[in-house]
Chain A
Amino acid sequence: DTGVSQDPRHKITKRGQNVTFRCDPISEHNRLYWYRQTLGQGPEFLTYFQNEAQLEKSRLLSDRFSAERPKGSFSTLEIQRTEQGDSAMYLCASSLSTFEGTGAEAFFGQGTRLTVV
């Protein structure tokens, strides 16, 4: 299976701990997105990479969140000093830009469900 892969699938952590999630995009996909989704809501944009460059970060995202995509391959999302409000599904998606002027289809991984207790 060469789809988007996320690890871990589930994470339970105590409030105040740091957590890190990993996303492996579809190979050759140059765009990578991170989203957060809570019950009854659509995916909320967190940040976006084109290759290794982080092009946009949501203004709603606190400084406790950081993401990297070294060498334009896999990406990590770290949450420092977790809070109960961080409990959510964290989704990663990737896409391939084909030519100027269009946004290509984005495919999601299975997500990482974070529970902060």
Chain B
Amino acid sequence: QKEVEQNSGPLSVPEGAIASLNCTYSDRVSQSFFWYRQYSGKSPELIMSIYSNGDKEDGRFTAQLNKASQYVSLLIRDSQPSDSATYLCAVVNRGGSNYKLTFGKGTLLTVNP
């Protein structure tokens, strides 16, 4: 089983809609969860971090974490064409003093005008 799994997409939504991106992880001791946005040919850009169960909102973005289900999601409200990118889910697994940051393959989001 892969450590971090995402639906590769593509996910296509109309402008103004809510985009929902999902991620599951395999290691129950995972502690920290991140969402990155990556435009084609560019490096990943951190957009959200979440550490405890529940929702965390930042502008049009909401991250949701459910540790019991080993599930983390990202909602993008009022999607804009500029949100079209690949969204990467990342998880920190702690083993001793080791804080390894592991990524999923990413979900390609297309927002259609």
Contacts and interface: CB of A to CB of B under 8 A. Distances in A.
Contacts, number: 68
Which of B49, B88, B100, B105 counts the most chain A CB atoms within 10 A? B100
A102 B43 contact: no
Contacts of B88: 42-43
**Interface footprint category on B:** 20 to 34
Contacts of B6: 42
Given A41-B105, A101-B94, A102-B31, A48 B43 contact: no
A42 B103 contact: yes
B85 interface: no
B34 interface: yes
Interface residues of A, number: 29
Given A41-B105, A42-B104, A103 B99 contact: yes
Given A48-B100, A55-B97, A107 B106 contact: no
A50 B97 CA distance: 9
A56 B101 contact: no
Interface of A: 31, 33, 35, 40-45, 48, 50, 55-56, 89, 91, 93, 95, 97, 101-111
Interface of B: 4, 6, 8, 31-32, 34, 36, 42-46, 49, 51, 88, 90, 92, 94, 97-106
Across the A-B interface, the 10 shortest Cβ-Cβ residue pairs: A103-B92, A103-B32, A42-B103, A42-B105, A108-B43, A103-B99, A43-B103, A111-B43, A55-B98, A42-B106
